Chain A
Amino acid sequence: MAIVEADREGDAAWAKGFRDLDRILRGELTRLPALRDGEVPVAPGRLTWVVVGLCMAYGACMGTFSLLSPQGPGLMQVVASMVKVPLLFYLTLVVTLPSLYVLNALMGSRLSFGSVFRLLSASLGVNVAVLASMGPIVAFFSACTTSYPFMVLLNVAVFATAGFLALGFLLQTLQRLSIARTLTIATDLAADDEAPGAIHPLTDQYAGRRVRAIFRVWMVLFGLVGAQMGWVLRPFIGDPSRPFAWFRPRQSNFFEAVLHALSAVFS
């Protein structure tokens, strides 16, 4: 299988994990021949370390805002954000995975539970890679911004960008998985000549209605649970006018809060 070929003896697990992530981003692991077995050939175990590491890096960037605001919650908020960003993603995965799998099976997909898990792990990898790459921008704005609502909106925009790219990857990979099964070995070798990127759409004629339906259901479920999970786990950024707390009381919801931040910035 593709992962085995890329391994070098004696490399640390995180180095292998990074190489896996790089190959996911380049689209090498989601080309048709690699998907012939009906699943994305990633090792979720070692990818997890990289995902957690990148999440913590982004958490630190998010926490910079409270570190540098004079009356803010300070260093504890940085620690809290570094713990909470990985939690946000994995708790969302744990909460949604069973229902995602069941819906997917009901809609007639032939993906096994393991394949669904691997596929979602790979998508999480894409999400977190984009997120962490925008960390320096967030840290820069955190360092020189005193407006808390602005930081909330910037972070929401960054999470949304990362989420949309990851969903694009998920949709493309779902389609490729359903194509890969129908191809014979002779034709999928021909298909490999193009070597498209990870999000590059293949020909649209294959975009099955079932794949799109599964994708839409997943997207809504993921989006709602993820956004609300983020709300339950708040504060991530740390309102400078309030003391540090690991969690805030459960009130309101994510969408109401974003609208509130929007009106606060523009008032």
Chain B
Amino acid sequence: MTTPTLLRRADALLRDLPEPEVPAAAAWRSRLAIVTTFGALYGATMGSYGERPLQATYSALKLPLMLAASFAISLPPFFVANTLFGLRDDFRRVVGALATTQAALTLILASLAPVTAFAYSACGLDHRRAVLLNGLMFAVASLGAQVVLRRSYRELIAARPAHRAMLRAWLAVYVFVGIQMGWVLRPFIGDPGLKTQFFREDSWTNAYVAVWNMVAGVLSGS
């Protein structure tokens, strides 16, 4: 896909323009292209902290991987649940709407990349602040992607209200898996004090247990 086409597709996705008669396969290709290209763009920016090209390359690979893997693992139970609640006929459109939302998320992230890069270079953030900054960017992008999600789900919910409950269940499972996926694929930003690695050796732990231990540590005052 050429760059002008990709940008045109991305623009159409954001502005909800009716795409000019694209066959289903092409629509999927363009969503995938958007997620990988723009996801990699933000990943690279995120990993450019401390100006280490290797970390930037790793993060560029890992961000689209994180989104795609969480999506793929969460899909089977969603498929079975949709079937059980009589929504199987809409499943293609539903997955399309969810994939469009993912694409929108990466587009918003990519649009925030210059801000992140500016903050890295201009503010001299320490590693912890850099992590917080990126967390903020992801929060903004997730909120923005909600607009696209709502838009693409509106018709589905109007036709069959059961879609609303299904969507909530999807978000719960996807976030639950996605948080752990992000945790496992650390480091995205990379502490300059540590060696650059694709995976941390100690990263195969559980995000929720780690967070709980942190909270328990704070509460017990240690």
Contacts and interface: CB of A to CB of B under 8 A. Distances in A.
Are A and B interaction partners?
Answer: yes
Interface of A: 22, 25-27, 126, 129-130, 133-137, 140-141, 143-147, 150, 165, 169, 195-200, 265-267
B184 interface: yes
A198 B86 contact: yes
Contacts of B73: 136-137, 140
Nearest to A27: B86
Interface stretch (B4-12, B52-60, B75-83, B112-120): B75-83
Contacts of B86: 26-27, 195-200
B177 A26 contact: no
A145 B206 contact: yes
A146 B76 contact: no
A26 B83 contact: yes
Contacts of A265: 209, 212
A137 B87 contact: no
B27 interface: no
B142 interface: no
Given A133-B76, A144-B180, A146-B204, A199 B209 contact: no
Interface in B38-73: 72-73
Contacts, number: 84
A118 B72 CA distance: 33
B88 interface: yes
A146 B84 contact: no
Contacts of A144: 180, 183-184, 203-206
A145 B205 contact: yes
B177 A165 contact: no
A28 B201 CA distance: 50
A137 B169 CA distance: 14
A133 B80 contact: yes
Q: Is the interface of B mostly helix, strand, loop or mixed?
A: helix
Given A140-B73, A145-B205, A145-B206, A165 B81 contact: yes
Contacts of A140: 73, 177, 180-181
Contacts of A266: 212, 216
A16 to B, nearest CB: 18
Nearest to B69: A140
Interface of B: 72-74, 76-77, 79-81, 83-88, 162, 173, 177, 180-181, 183-184, 203-206, 208-209, 212, 216
Name the residue in B74, B83, B184 with the highest tally of chain A Cβ atoms < 10 Å from its Cβ.
B83
A169 B181 CA distance: 32
B208 A130 contact: no
A198 B83 CA distance: 8
A136 B212 contact: no
Nearest to B210: A147
A252 B183 CA distance: 35
A133 B79 contact: yes
Name the residue in B73, B177, B212 with the highest tally of chain A Cβ atoms < 10 Å from its Cβ.
B73
A25 B204 contact: no
A147 B81 contact: no
Contacts of B183: 144
B209 A147 contact: yes
A143 B204 contact: yes
9 contacts: A25-B83, A26-B83, A130-B80, A130-B81, A134-B77, A141-B206, A146-B206, A197-B84, A265-B209
B79 A147 contact: no
Q: Which 10 A-B pairs have the closest CB atoms?
A: A197-B86, A133-B76, A145-B206, A133-B80, A133-B77, A25-B83, A147-B209, A144-B204, A144-B184, A197-B85
B77 A147 contact: no
Contacts of A145: 204-206, 209
Given A140-B180, A165-B81, A199-B86, 20 more contacts: A22-B83, A25-B84, A27-B84, A129-B80, A130-B77, A130-B84, A134-B76, A136-B72, A136-B76, A137-B177, A140-B177, A141-B180, A145-B209, A146-B205, A150-B208, A196-B86, A197-B83, A197-B162, A198-B83, A266-B216
B89 to A, nearest CB: 9
Nearest to A165: B84
Contacts of A130: 77, 80-81, 84
A6 B180 CA distance: 42
A169 B85 CA distance: 10
A199 B87 CA distance: 11
Contacts of B84: 25, 27, 126, 130, 165, 169, 197-199
